[in-house]
Structure 1
Amino acid sequence: MTRRYLLAATFCVVVAAVACFVPLFNLVGYESAALFGVIGGLLATGLTVADALRQDALAGRAVDFGRFALRNLGLLVVPLGLLTLNGLRVPNCDWAAGYSFWGLIAGMAVLMGTASAWVAVTWLGRRRLTWWVAFGLPLADGAALAYHLATEPPIVGHQWFLGYFGGSIYDEALAVPLSLISYRILHAIALVAVVAALDARQRWQRGLRAGWTVALALVAMVVFTVGFAYRQDFGIGIDRTHIARELGGLIETEHFLIFYPKTRVWEQAAAQLAEDHEYRYDELRQFFGTDPVEFTGRKVRSFVYADRDSKGALMGGRNTMVAKLWLHEMHILWRGTGDRMIAHELAHIFTEPFGSGPLRLSMQRGVGVNMGLVEGAAFAAEWPARDLSAHQASRAMRELAIAPDLRALLGASGFWTQASGRAYTLMGSFVRYLIDTYGIEAFKEAYSHGDFSGAYGKSVVELVSEWEHFIDAIELDARQREVARYLYDRPSIFGKVCARTMAEWRRLATLAAREGLPAEALVHLDRVLAASPGLVTAVAEYARALGQMGRYDEGLALLDERLNAPISLVERAELEALRGDLLWQSGQAEDAARTYVGCLDAGVPIDLERSLRLRAHYAERAHDPARRYLVGSNSSAMGLYQVAHWAHEEPDDPGAAYLVGRRLWQSRQWRDALPWLERARGQLGAEVLDAEADLMLGQVYYFVDRDEDALEVFEELSQSSITRYAQEATRWLDRLQWRRNTGAKTYR
C-alpha cells in the first residue's frame, strides 16, 4: 500500500465525514453515490497510472487489472461505512436502493477509472501522453454529457463517473433508473471486451495461446455494439429526433413547430393545441415587447408529452416543465386550452432577445445564472389566477415569517435552496412589481446582467425595500393567511426526511390507488408513515385507501388520531372532509353532512370549498346516487355511467346536470356537455359552484364557436366576487377578442 494510496483513502474519509452533515449527501443514496463516483473515479485513474508505471505493470494482464481494481474499490469501503453508520443519526429509508446506487455509480466509476488508466498505461507506457489519455477519456465523456444536455432536449444523462445526472432538483421522486442499469451493463460488457483484448495482446507477445480471450473479447464487443445501437430505447443518449419519432405528431403554425402524441385523443385536440400556442405567443409578445421568432429567424419548437411518465422517460423531469431558450424550444404537458404551462415556458423564450451569454439568460456579473430573475420573469408574465395572487401570497408569507430574504433569492444559488412554491411566487411578485411600476424596458435592461443600479438608478436593496413596503400594505383576512400557510409553509428538498425515497413511495402509492389497487397503495404508504408518522398527506392517502377497501372504521380511527395532534386549519379541514367521506360511505350521512359544514366554517381553498358544498348538500339529504358518485370508488367509465343514470332518474336536479356536464367537459366532449351545463346554470345554490359551472359553460360556448354566448357568460363571470373566477373570465374575454381579431378559427 503506497503513501499516495493512503492519502487518497484519507481524503475519501474526510469527504465522507463532511457529507454526513450535508442534506441529501448524508444518506446512502443517489447524491452520495454520485459524489463518490466522481471522487473515486478520478482517484482510481490517477492511482492506477502512477502505481502501474512504478511497478512495471505495463503488459496488460487481466490478473493485474483485477488487482488494481480491487485495491481501488477499497477507497469506497470506509466512506460507505461512515454513511451507513450515519443512518443511526439521520433516517435512511431505503437501504436497498441506496446500496444499489453506490454499486451502479460509485463502484462502477472506480472500475471505469481503473480501465481508462489501464488502457493508457498498456498502450502508451511511460509517456507524458499516458496521463493525458487516462484522464482525457472520462473528461471527454463528461464534456460530451454537458454538450448533449446543452444541445438536445433531455435534462438527464449519463457519464462514466457521475453515473446518472438526475436533472431538476424539483423532481424529488427517484428510484434506481432502468437507464442507469442499462448504462452500467453496457460498461460491464465494455470492460470485459477491453480487459480480454489487452490480456490477449499480452499473451501473444509472450507466445502463449490466447484463443479463449480473443473469443471473449469479440463476443463482448459484438454484444456491446448491438446494445449501444439500441441505447435510446433504454433511455441512454436520447436526442431530439428520437423524441419526435416517439411522439409522432407534428403541427406547424405561424410561430411554432408543435410535436405531440399521435393518438386519437390528441388528434382531436390538435387544433386547440395549436390555437392555444398562438394565443399565448401574441399575449406574451404584448407583455414583453419582443418577438423571439423574428429575433432568431426560426420557429419555436414545442414538445408536448402525453403524461408525466412519458415525459420523464423521454427527456427527464416528470414534474418539471423545461424551456431551453438557447435552443428555441420548450417541453411541456398540456391539460387543455388555457393551461398555464404553455404561458410559463414560452415566457422564458420571450426573454431570449434581452438575455445575455451563450444561453441567453440573466447572468450575474457575467458568471452565474440569476435564476431568481429567470423564473421571476416567467412567473410575472404568466401571472396565474389562483386563490391568492402572488402579491397576496407574498404578503402572507412575510406575515407568517416563512418568506426567505428576497436578496438571497436574487443570488446565483439562493433560489434553488428554497421550496419551489415560495421561491417562484416571491420572485414573480417582485418582478411584476418592477414591471408594473417602472415599465418593461427598464426590467429588460436590468435582466441581462442583473444590473439594477444601471437600469433603475437604485440599488437592489432599495428596490427590494420598495417592494416590501408595497407588499406589506396589502390587507388579508384569516382565511387567506391559512391558505397561504397550507400552500407555502413546506420544507425544500434539503429539509425533508428521505426526500427522494419518500417522494417515490408516494408516487407509487398514488399510481396504485388510481389504478384501483388500494392494497398495493397501502404497502407503499406503510413505508412512508413508518419514516414520517405525522405526514398529513400520507395519512389522508392511507385513510382514503382504507375507504376504497371498505375498512371505514380503521380509516376513521387513523384520521381521529391525526386530528388530535397539532395541525394547520386547512390541513385539518382536508382531513375532516375525508372523515366525512368515510362516514357517508359507511352509512352515516347525517354525521357526514355536519362534518362537511364544519369544514366550511374554517375557511378553505376554493377547490375544496366547491367540493364540500356539493357533498354537504347531498349528504344532508342522504342522497344515495350522490354518495356512490361523489365519495365512492369508481373507474372513469363507471363514474360517467353512474352520474348519467342519476341525472336521467332526476332530470330536475341541477347538481346531477352540473356533474354530468363537468365529466363531459373534462373529456373535451363539448357539444355533449353543453345542454347539461346550460341546465345547471345559476341553479346550484352556492356562488363557488355557480362560478365554476359558468366558467365551464363559457369555455364550451367558445369551443363550439358560439362566441356571442361565450361573451355574455364571461362578462357576467368577470364581475364575480370570487377573484380567481373573475380573473379567469377576463382572460377568456381577451382570448375571444384575439380570436375575433386574428381569425384563429382556421386552426379548427
Structure 2
Amino acid sequence: MPPAPPDPSDTLGTTARPPRPWATARAGRLRWPALAYAAVCVALWPVPVLGLLHAESSAVVAAVAFLVGGVAGGAALRGGVPLRTVVAEHLALLVLPALLLTATLPWRPNCGIAQGAGLYALLVPPSLLLGVALGDALGAWAVRRPALWVVGVGLAVAAGGVAWDLGLHPQLFTYSHVFGGVLGPIYDEELAVRPGLWAAKAQTLLWATFLLFAARWKRGRGGSEPREAGRGGAGGRPALAVGALLVASYALAVPLGIQQSAAHLQRALSQRVDLGPLVLHLDPAAPPEEARRLADEALYRFGQVVGRLGIMPAEPVDVYLYPDADAKAALIGSRRTSVVPVWLPSPQVHMLADQVPASLGHELVHVVAREFGAPVLRASPAVGLVEGLAVALEPPDGRPAPAELVAAGRALGGDAGGLDADPAAVVARVMSPAGFWTARAGVAYTASGAFAAWLLDTRGPAPLREAYRTGDFRAAYGESLDALAAAWGRDLAGRPAQPEAVAVAAWLFRRPSLFEVRCPHHVPAHVRHARAGWEALDEGRDGAALAAFDAALAAEPLSAAAEAGRLQALARHGRRPAPLDLDRARAAADSLGDALSLRVLGDVLRLRGEPGAARATRAATDSLSVVDAVGRLLLRRRAGWSAPTLAAVLGAPPDSVAPRVEAAAPVAAALRWAQADRPARAWRLARAWDDDALLAGFDSAAAREGGAALDLLRAQLAYRAGATGAAERFAERAAVRFRAAGPQSLVAVAEDWAARARWRRGLPPRPRAG
C-alpha cells in the first residue's frame, strides 16, 4: 500500500516524511497513550475523591493528557501525520479515561456526575491541545529529545503557575495550563466554578494556537523540515496577533477572574475599619452596628492570642470578611472554608462575616504563628501543630475542652478514629502531612489541639514556638515527639471521662472524613433551594423564599430546614400550614428524630390547632446536645407559646418585633432585636425578664440550668449594648450557676464573657468604620 498523501486542507500541519500505512500507524501511535490513560485511571480507582469522574480526577487526567499530547502527538506530527488527524485521534482517546472513571460508580457513588463530566470536558481538552501544540513547536525548532522537553516544560509551567497564583496572590484557586486547575479548598463541599475558569481555559487555547502558528512560521522560514506549498511562511502575523491577545489576557488577569489581587479585594470589600494591629475589610452594605460588633470581636480575640503566644505580628493584619458564601467563592474560590494564607508576604485572614464569633479566634492563631513559622512557608513542618495550636488557643465555644474530648474518646470504643486505642499514636501520626489530611477532621484537630494545649501549659510558649518553626521536637524540648506524646497520654489516662464530653465526642470523632464521605463535593438540590430560601427570608423577599422552600420540599419532602423556612414564610403571609405540611413534618420527625424536625412538627401542630404540639417540642428539647443549655431554655419556652404567639414570632419581618411578641415571648423578642443589630432595644427587654415567670413549670434541674442560661444571655445582650458592668455581673453569676448545675463546658464560655467585659472597660471608645 502506498503512503498516504498529505492532507491539503491541513494548513497548519506538516509532513516531513511519509507516514506508515494508516491502520498500522494509528494502532501503533495510539497504543501507549491508551495504556497510559488506563494505567493512571486504574491507579486512581481505589483512592477516595480521585477515583471518580470529578474535578480532582480531571486535574490528574489533564496533566497526563498534556504529556500524552506533547510526546505521542508530537511524535506523530514529526512522523508526517496531519495535525487535524492527530487532534481528532487524541480528543477521541479522552473518552477512555472518562469511561474508566465512570466505571467506578458501582462501588464509589458519584452524585455529581453531571458536574464532574462538565468539568472533565472543560479542564482536560485544553491541556491536551496545548501538549500537541508544544510537540509541534518542538519539532519545528528541531529540538533534541523532545519528549524530555515536554516533561520539563510541563513541570515548569505547572509548578510555576501554582507558585505564581497561590504564592503571590490572595486566592485559593489556581487555573493551570497543564493540569487544568484546582477550584478551591478541598474542605469546601461545594466547588466554586468561577467565570475565571472559562477565561483561563480560553487562555490555554490561545497558547496552543500561538505555538501552532509559531511552528508554521518557523517551517516557512526554513526550519528543520522541508517547506511545502501552502504550508509555510504565513504563520508570522497570526502568531503576533494571538501573542497580543495573550499579553492582553495576562494584563487583564484580575478583571477576567484568572487571578485575584489585594487591591481588587479591597475594592469589593470597600468598608475599611482600621483597628491598628488589625484592618477589617467589609462589604460596603454592612451596617455600622455590625462593623462595630466585628471590630470588637477581632480586637478581643487578637489580644488573647498575642498575650498567650508572647509575640506581636510585625505589620497590621488584613481581615477580609465576606458577606456570603457566593461572594467569597467569586472572589477567592473558597465558599465556607476560612483560610489564612500564611505564605503570602503580608498577614491576612479570609472568612465569612457570620463565622467571626465562632472561628476568628482560631484563624488569628495562624496569623500570629506565622511570625515564628518555618522560612518561606511561615507555618510548621509538623502539620498537626499548625491546626493543633489554633485549636488549643481558640475561644471556648460551649463544647468540652479538647483534652476532655480526647479522654472521652478513649471510652467510646468501636469506631472512634483510633482514640479508643492510643491517643499518643494518633498525635504522632497527624504531625505528618499524609497522617493529618487523611485522618478524620474531628480526630486530627482535637487530638493535636489537646496535645498543643498540654505543651503550652506544662512547658510554656518558647519551646513550642521553636518546635513549630522547625518541626524538631527533640531540639526544642530535649525529648522526641513519641516521648512527649506518651507523657501526654499518661496524663490523659488519669482523667475521668465526663458524660457530656462522651456525648460530644461520639458525634465529633465518628464524623467521616472527606476521604470516607459518600459523594464529596455534591450539595443536594434540596439543600441549595433551602439555603436560597433562608437568604431570601433574611432579605425580606418572602415570595421568593416560599418558592425556594417549595422547590426544596419537592426535591426532598423530609427536609426539616425547608419546612421550617416554609412555615415562617407562610406566617409572614398570614397563612396556616396545609395538611401536606403536617404530613411532611410527621414523616421527617419519624425518620430523622432530631431537634429541628421535632421542633418543626410541634410548630405545625400548634399553628393548625392539632393536639401534641407541646409534646413534640419537649421531644425536640430532649434531643438537643447535652451542652446546649441555651437551646433547651428556648425550646422549653417555645413549648408554652400559643398559636397566635408562634405565628407572630414567625411572621415578624427580619428587622422588627411586634409589641405582643415582646410581651408573650420576651426572650425570643430580645434575641430577635439583637439579631437585627438593635442591641439597646434587646438589652432593654432583657433587663425586664422575670426569671420566676420565665422558668415557671420547669422541674428543679431544668430551672437551675435555665436560670444560668438566662444569665448568660443577659451578659451577652448587656455587652452588645455597652453595659459592660452588668455584662460582667451576669456572666460571673452564670459561671457560678453552670458550675453548680448545668453543662460544665459552659462555665468557660461565661467566664470568657466576664473577662471580655473587663477588657472592654479598659479600652478607648470603639473605632469607627470608614
TM class by shorter chain equals 0.7 to 0.9
Distance (whole Å) between structure 1 residues aligned to residue 181 and residue 109 of structure 2 = 23
2:299 corresponds to 1:281 = no
Name the aligned partner's letter for residue 159 of structure 1.
S
Distance (whole Å) between structure 2 residues aligned to residue 115 and residue 557 of structure 1 = 61
Q: Which runs of 5+ in 1 are unaligned?
A: 58-63, 364-369, 530-537
Conserved? CA contact 2:474–2:481, under 8 Å:
yes
Q: Which moved more, 1:717-726 or 1:689-698?
A: 689-698
Query: Which secondary structure state, in structure 1, belongs to the residue aligned with residue 694 of structure 2?
Result: coil
Q: Give the aligned partner of residue 423 of structure 1.
A: 444
2:387 corresponds to 1:382 = no
Name the aligned partner's letter for residue 718 of structure 1.
A
Q: Give the aligned partner of residue 250 of structure 1.
A: 272
Distance (whole Å) between structure 1 residues aligned to residue 150 and residue 427 of structure 2 = 47
Q: Which runs of 5+ in 2 are unaligned?
A: 1-25, 222-226, 419-425, 537-543, 571-575, 696-702
Conserved? CA contact 1:303–1:332, under 8 Å:
yes
Q: Give the aligned partner of residue 573 of structure 2.
A: none
Cα distance, 1:602 vs structure 2: 5.1
Cα distance, 1:22 vs structure 2: 1.7
Distance (whole Å) between structure 2 residues aligned to residue 504 and residue 30 of structure 1 = 19
Q: Give the aligned partner of residue 363 of structure 2.
A: 345
2:677 corresponds to 1:658 = no
Conserved? CA contact 1:577–1:596, under 8 Å:
yes
Q: Which one of the candidate residues 497, 500, 512 is aligned to 1:491? A: 512
* Residue-by-residue CA offset, 1:201-241 (whole Å, 9 max, x unaligned): 87897565999999987886776666655443443111222
Closer, same or farther: CA 451–746 of 1 in aligned 2, 3 Å: same
Q: Which one of the candidate residues 56, 59, 71 is aligned to 1:34? A: 59
Q: Which one of the candidate residues 680, 688, 691 is aligned to 1:679? A: 688
Conserved? CA contact 2:289–2:677, under 8 Å:
no
Q: Which one of the candidate residues 143, 148, 160 is aligned to 2:177? A: 160
Q: Which moved more, 1:328-337 or 1:706-715?
A: 328-337
Q: Give the aligned partner of residue 123 of structure 2.
A: 105
Q: Give the aligned partner of residue 397 of structure 1.
A: 409
- Per residue, is there more helix in 1 or in 2? 1
2:409 corresponds to 1:373 = no
Q: Which one of the candidate residues 157, 161, 164 is aligned to 1:147? A: 164
Q: Give the aligned partner of residue 406 of structure 1.
A: 427
Cα distance, 1:35 vs structure 2: 1.1
* Residue-by-residue CA offset, 1:41-85 (whole Å, 9 max, x unaligned): 1221122333333x157xxxxxx3322222223443322222222
Cα distance, 1:147 vs structure 2: 2.6
Q: Give the aligned partner of residue 473 of structure 2.
A: 452
2:142 corresponds to 1:125 = yes
Q: Give the aligned partner of residue 728 of structure 1.
A: 749
Question: What number of residue pairs does the alignment pair up?
Answer: 704
Conserved? CA contact 1:116–1:138, under 8 Å:
no
Conserved? CA contact 1:393–1:425, under 8 Å:
yes
Query: Which secondary structure state, in structure 1, belongs to the residue aligned with residue 186 of structure 2?
Result: coil
Q: Give the aligned partner of residue 340 of structure 2.
A: 323
* Residue-by-residue CA offset, 1:453-492 (whole Å, 9 max, x unaligned): 3434443333333333433444445554334323442111
Cα distance, 1:415 vs structure 2: 1.2
2:678 corresponds to 1:669 = yes
Q: Which moved more, 1:82-91 or 1:493-502?
A: 82-91
Q: Give the aligned partner of residue 3 of structure 2.
A: none
Distance (whole Å) between structure 2 residues aligned to residue 688 and residue 16 of structure 1 = 57
Distance (whole Å) between structure 2 residues aligned to residue 189 and residue 701 of structure 1 = 60
Distance (whole Å) between structure 1 residues aligned to residue 524 and residue 491 of structure 2 = 37
Distance (whole Å) between structure 1 residues aligned to residue 586 and residue 493 of structure 2 = 38
* Residue-by-residue CA offset, 1:660-686 (whole Å, 9 max, x unaligned): 221121222222222112112635315
Aligned Cα root-mean-square deviation (Å)? 3.6
Distance (whole Å) between structure 2 residues aligned to residue 211 and residue 526 of structure 1 = 62
Name the aligned partner's letter for residue 759 of structure 2.
W
Query: Which secondary structure state, in structure 1, belongs to the residue aligned with residue 94 of structure 2?
Result: helix
2:311 corresponds to 1:290 = yes
Alignment map for 1:508-657 (pairs within 5 Å): 508-515=529-536, 516-517=544-545, 520=548, 539-541=559-561, 544=564, 554=580, 572-588=594-610, 590-601=611-622, 604-607=625-628, 610-620=630-640, 623-629=642-648, 632=650, 634=651, 638-641=653-656, 643-647=657-661, 650=663, 653=664, 656-657=665-666
Conserved? CA contact 2:170–2:262, under 8 Å:
yes
TM-score, structure 1 as length reference: 0.83
Cα distance, 1:726 vs structure 2: 3.1
Q: Give the aligned partner of residue 69 of structure 2.
A: 44
Q: Give the aligned partner of residue 423 of structure 2.
A: none
Conserved? CA contact 1:640–1:660, under 8 Å:
no
Closer, same or farther: CA 99–139 of 1 in aligned 2, 3 Å: same
Distance (whole Å) between structure 1 residues aligned to residue 454 and residue 277 of structure 2 = 29
Alignment map for 1:78-117 (pairs within 5 Å): 78-117=96-135
Conserved? CA contact 1:116–1:134, under 8 Å:
no
Conserved? CA contact 2:273–2:768, under 8 Å:
no
Conserved? CA contact 1:30–1:98, under 8 Å:
yes
Overall identity of the aligned pairs, in % = 24
Name the aligned partner's letter for residue 647 of structure 1.
V
Cα distance, 1:177 vs structure 2: 4.0
Closer, same or farther: CA 75–524 of 1 in aligned 2, 3 Å: farther
Closer, same or farther: CA 477–345 of 1 in aligned 2, 3 Å: closer
Cα distance, 1:526 vs structure 2: 6.8
Conserved? CA contact 1:580–1:595, under 8 Å:
yes
Closer, same or farther: CA 708–77 of 1 in aligned 2, 3 Å: closer
Cα distance, 1:733 vs structure 2: 2.7
Conserved? CA contact 1:618–1:626, under 8 Å:
no
Q: Which moved more, 1:155-164 or 1:84-93?
A: 84-93
Distance (whole Å) between structure 1 residues aligned to residue 84 and residue 39 of structure 2 = 27
Conserved? CA contact 1:276–1:338, under 8 Å:
yes
Distance (whole Å) between structure 1 residues aligned to residue 276 and residue 92 of structure 2 = 60
Q: Give the aligned partner of residue 285 of structure 2.
A: 263
2:731 corresponds to 1:717 = no
Closer, same or farther: CA 575–375 of 1 in aligned 2, 3 Å: same
Conserved? CA contact 1:387–1:605, under 8 Å:
no
Cα distance, 1:425 vs structure 2: 1.9
Closer, same or farther: CA 342–599 of 1 in aligned 2, 3 Å: closer
Cα distance, 1:34 vs structure 2: 1.1
Name the aligned partner's letter for residue 411 of structure 2.
E
